[in-house]
Structure 1
Amino acid sequence: MKEKNLKKLSAERPNVVFIIADDHRGEAIRAFGDETVQTPVLDSLVASGTACRNTHIFGGLTGAVCAPSRACVNTGIPIFRAMIGKDMMIREHSSVIRPDVRLMPQTMQGAGYLTHAIGKWHNDKASFARSFEGGDKLTFHGMSEHTKVPVYDYDLTGAYPKEQEYIERTFSTELFTSVAVEFIEDYREDRPFFLYVAYTAPHDPRTAPEPYASMYDKSDIPLPPNFMREHPFDTGDMAGRDEKLARWPRDEGEIREHIADYYAMISHLDAQIGRVVEALKAKGIYEDTLIVYTADHGLAVGQHGLMGKQNLYEHSVRIPLIFRGPGVPEGKQEHALASNIDIFPTVAGLCGVDLPEETEGISLCPIFAGEIDGVRGIVGSVYRDVQRMVTDGRWKLIRYYRSPETNTGTERIQLFDLRSDPWETQDLSAEPANAGIIERLASELASWMQASGDILQDKPVLPVTSLA
């Protein structure tokens, strides 16, 4: 089919390039005020689109937060109703999406889109098979070395047996980008496409190729204001894999090196996304394509004395979310509260696609249209059976539990004023003047837990000594 006809069809219902990164925390983009990291391509998408700066993940019930976060993004449903698996909290990887739940790519396919996947899925193969009618360089693993990536070719049967898996040596970010570019260049269908590109960067091992590996000098890397040598109490997950990536107590020089390597991975990823953008422009369909950029969760990398994402501080639960394309305002940074379960409804709304009845997320399209200021009064997040969080955008309450399963964790709360303390350095929970704020947030957290089907909804939100 002639490309001008493809462009016409795309203008009526836009093509979609949905990009999801692994471990990219919300503030680590230069356009968002980080003066160290270099992200010119993402900056350009922010300048020509809308960035939803206050988007939080729903959370996870195991240390592998990637899988439940991706399930929330692709179903628009809280993990307690989107996923299945006995004893989800204590299983190392709980990744199975319920078979009766319709996913974002599955819904787009039903609306006439050709759905094509590249890269990391990390949920079950059955949910993948019912969502995509094509794909390339597919991996169902949580992580790997970036130059030793176990991948599959697309399998029409949906089985993806182990014997069909093979190793690719091209650096993962470049590998996935190259096949995404090929898909765009070769596309000739008379229907719009939904291209899902799931990177494994900037997840460790943080081994960016040159010249990116040498882009950041660790001696020039500023430590974040909330750097700590040690976290002041047991969060319930102090000895997991991620926390062992740096020595205890945390050393300033070592943390600077980790941040430099993290930023190198992000800048390399940014450049590769630029190749996708250029392919869309060369095809003549850039202006008719909705580009979405997000991540499955954030990462501490030394903040609060932590290294991983197994916590509910902003660096771990707040993610980048950028929309650019038809129906999206240009040059807007939106600070309304959002959850990652809202991403699917927003994509559907921008594409004129009806949502499945079971979807629980809320479209951000009315905010884009200027009809309302926000869709949520609060957002919450969960981690295993040891942490729960709620924020109204200014005040944030984190509730910590002691796990009977692992005998880890601490019975306590933290309260932060994100307006005056965005780095969460001052716990205000002990100040008597804040008792009313704590009680209000505790009530909202309890209601949110019940509405979400939280497995801890019957546990008290406040520890008995919190207001003594």
Structure 2
Amino acid sequence: MKQPNIILIMTDQLRGDALGYAGHPDVKTPYLDTLASKGVVFDRAYSACPSCIAARAALHTGMEPSHHGRVGYEDNIPWNYSHTMAGQLSKAGYYTQCVGKMHVHPLRNYLGFHNVDLHDGYLHCARYASVPYQESQFVADDYFHWLKQELGADADVTDTGIDCNSFLARPWTHEEKYHPTNWVTDRCLDFLRRRDPRKPFFLMASYLRPHPPFDAPSHYFDLYKDKDLRKPFIGTWETTEDLEKNGRIFDSKTGPLDPELARQAQIGYYACITHLDHQIGRLIMALIEQELYDDSVIVFTADHGEELCDHHMFRKSRPYEGSCRIPLLIAAGKNVFPEIKAHSVCHSVVELRDVMPTLLAMAGAPVPDSVDGHELLSLARDPKETVRPWLHGEHSYGEYSNHWIVTETDKFIWHSVTGREQYFCLTEDPHELTDRIHDPACLERIDTLRSCLIQSLTGRPEGFTDGKRLIPGRPYPPTMAGATKA
């Protein structure tokens, strides 16, 4: 079989449950539902360090957080990895193109891609007046450059008045064709026009939405504004202390205190998802019309989720399902990988680090020894198989720093500043409404998962464990000393 074309559709901050095919009662995603119907869905996919930079390090290197060194969010740390997803596919004979978000340093670090049409969204650290010329988004970001050419020097994504981490929502202020979601699809279609037809291609369509700002075109807001939306999930273990203290801050980690603002955030988030879905539909139709679809494989995923006011929380970096569980599916055209079982679901715990070895397996390329992930083609062929019994996740997040062990059925959480532990039986309680950490019937299982976490943390430089117990209050910087720095 000849090498297939590979299209990786990457989204930002998309929850694993916020899709039609995942059973969400409100969100409409007909094109992604189509891909799910034609391929295999991994419904226990996670981001082991659920924020933008660390998650993308896992995606591009195939490494776990303690190996790629990003265990939290920190800007301006150089990316100097020996093996990257695009670099290895380039060596395997692919022409490699990324369109949209990279979120690496420096901004124009191509990570092995032959070409990048860049839009990282609104990055605070790249917009300040003191930023060097080449690291300014207004210079390095292709979308910002294009938008100013189209609409004038004053045009900006901030014209809506909404910040990139805000729970506020309002429709896009310009014509829909100027929206960054449309721009990513436009640039992908232009790549298909100018590609070398003699070579297989790897196209990473890296969309920023539904990451805030929640600013989809007005048509998509209209789809949801009058609907009776499912309320955020609030269980029996949360407190409102943080919400009462921070719930009137526009970019709070708790979300809004005002329930109407929480509803508006839901409307804006769902509007961005359906807008994204329709733009992915444009890309799919172009692949069909150019007679590329049947010779291509499509992988769809996200870097992390969005709490969206579940448990009185907002944004990501948390150990809960809204934050760390992500969508992942593989769909193939009729001429490639016919053994992939259409309309199937795999329950194995998988992670972003598994994407790189999976794409390399599709290309028939060797997997570097530095890669920790597993190729998922075997699971796509037989969804009843599994690749790991449990997954360790983590995030340096100040007072909210956390580590967790998740399996196909349950989750153990350790908050590394306070030492607080939590346990959720996901089979019975998928929305983590009941913390059973003190349930006598669960103590043996909790001991087992705690031992898995101790095993995973043993030898780490932070000193989280002595090999017998977990030790809270240890220093936990977002970038490990061993991370690749210039």
Give TM class, smaller chain: 0.7 to 0.9
**What's the TM-score once normalised by structure 2's chain length?**
0.80
- Give the structure 1 partner of residue 271 of structure 2: 264
Does residue 15 of the first structure (1) align with residue 2 of the second (2)?
no
- Give the structure 1 partner of residue 203 of structure 2: 195
Alpha-carbon shift at residue 215 of structure 1 (Å)? 1.1
Does residue 461 of the first structure (1) align with residue 437 of the second (2)?
no
The 3 A distance-change label for structure 1 pair 130 and 305 is closer
- Give the structure 2 partner of residue 348 of structure 1: 360
Query: In 2, distance between residues paired with 1:160 and 1:189?
Result: 34
Matched ranges for 1:124-273 at <5 A: 124-125=105-106, 128-136=109-117, 138-140=118-120, 143=123, 164-165=139-140, 166-169=144-147, 170-217=178-225, 219-226=227-234, 231=239, 242-243=251-252, 246-248=255-257, 251-273=258-280
Does residue 93 of the first structure (1) align with residue 75 of the second (2)?
yes
Does residue 304 of the first structure (1) align with residue 311 of the second (2)?
yes
CA contact (8 A) 1:67 1:95 kept: no
Does residue 79 of the first structure (1) align with residue 94 of the second (2)?
no
Query: In 2, distance between residues paired with 1:45 and 1:34?
Result: 16
Alpha-carbon shift at residue 105 of structure 1 (Å)? 0.6
Q: Which moved more, 1:30-39 or 1:159-168?
A: 159-168
Does residue 398 of the first structure (1) align with residue 388 of the second (2)?
no
Query: In 2, distance between residues paired with 1:21 and 1:371?
Result: 24
CA contact (8 A) 2:19 2:28 kept: yes
CA contact (8 A) 2:235 2:432 kept: no
Alpha-carbon shift at residue 234 of structure 1 (Å)? 6.9
Q: Which moved more, 1:270-279 or 1:72-81?
A: 72-81
Tell me which of 295, 311, 323 is aligned to 1:316: 323
Alpha-carbon shift at residue 92 of structure 1 (Å)? 4.1
Structure 1 unaligned segments of length 5 or more: list them: 1-10, 151-158, 403-409
Query: In 2, distance between residues paired with 1:176 and 1:55?
Result: 25
Query: 1:32-88: per-residue Cα shift (whole Å, max 9, x none)?
Result: 11121000000000000111110111105xxxx10110110111101222147xxx7
Query: In 1, distance between residues paired with 2:394 and 2:416?
Result: 11
The 3 A distance-change label for structure 1 pair 142 and 358 is farther
Query: In 2, distance between residues paired with 1:411 and 1:130?
Result: 38
Aligned-residue CA RMSD in angstroms? 2.9
**What's the TM-score once normalised by structure 1's chain length?**
0.82
- Give the structure 1 partner of residue 423 of structure 2: 415
Query: In 2, distance between residues paired with 1:122 and 1:76?
Result: 17
Tell me which of 353, 376, 381 is aligned to 2:393: 381
CA contact (8 A) 1:228 1:305 kept: no
The 3 A distance-change label for structure 1 pair 254 and 161 is closer
Alpha-carbon shift at residue 414 of structure 1 (Å)? 0.6
Q: Which moved more, 1:107-116 or 1:367-376?
A: 367-376
Alpha-carbon shift at residue 430 of structure 1 (Å)? 1.0
Partner AA of 1:119 in structure 2:
G
CA contact (8 A) 2:47 2:55 kept: yes
Query: In 2, distance between residues paired with 1:180 and 1:198?
Result: 10
Does residue 109 of the first structure (1) align with residue 90 of the second (2)?
yes
Alpha-carbon shift at residue 227 of structure 1 (Å)? 6.8
Percent identical:
27
The 3 A distance-change label for structure 1 pair 374 and 163 is closer
Partner AA of 2:67 in structure 1:
R
Partner AA of 2:351 in structure 1:
S
Structure 2 unaligned segments of length 5 or more: list them: 128-133, 148-177, 474-486
Query: In 1, distance between residues paired with 2:19 and 2:461?
Result: 32
Query: In 2, distance between residues paired with 1:116 and 1:232?
Result: 46
The 3 A distance-change label for structure 1 pair 371 and 213 is closer
Alpha-carbon shift at residue 383 of structure 1 (Å)? 1.1
Tell me which of 16, 19, 37 is aligned to 1:26: 16
Tell me which of 375, 380, 386 is aligned to 1:368: 380
Query: In 2, distance between residues paired with 1:184 and 1:135?
Result: 14
Alpha-carbon shift at residue 186 of structure 1 (Å)? 2.9
Q: SS at 1:96's partner residue?
A: coil
Partner AA of 1:395 in structure 2:
D
Query: In 2, distance between residues paired with 1:247 and 1:238?
Result: 8
Partner AA of 1:93 in structure 2:
D
Query: In 1, distance between residues paired with 2:13 and 2:386?
Result: 26
Alpha-carbon shift at residue 226 of structure 1 (Å)? 3.0
Alpha-carbon shift at residue 448 of structure 1 (Å)? 2.3
CA contact (8 A) 1:228 1:304 kept: no
Alpha-carbon shift at residue 324 of structure 1 (Å)? 0.9
Alpha-carbon shift at residue 143 of structure 1 (Å)? 4.4
CA contact (8 A) 1:298 1:316 kept: yes
Deviating runs (4+, > 6 A) in structure 1? 159-163, 227-230, 237-241
Query: 1:114-159: per-residue Cα shift (whole Å, max 9, x none)?
Result: 01111111012388334111232x1345648xxxx99xxxxxxxx7
CA contact (8 A) 1:80 1:455 kept: no
Tell me which of 109, 123, 126 is aligned to 2:104: 123
The 3 A distance-change label for structure 1 pair 121 and 457 is same
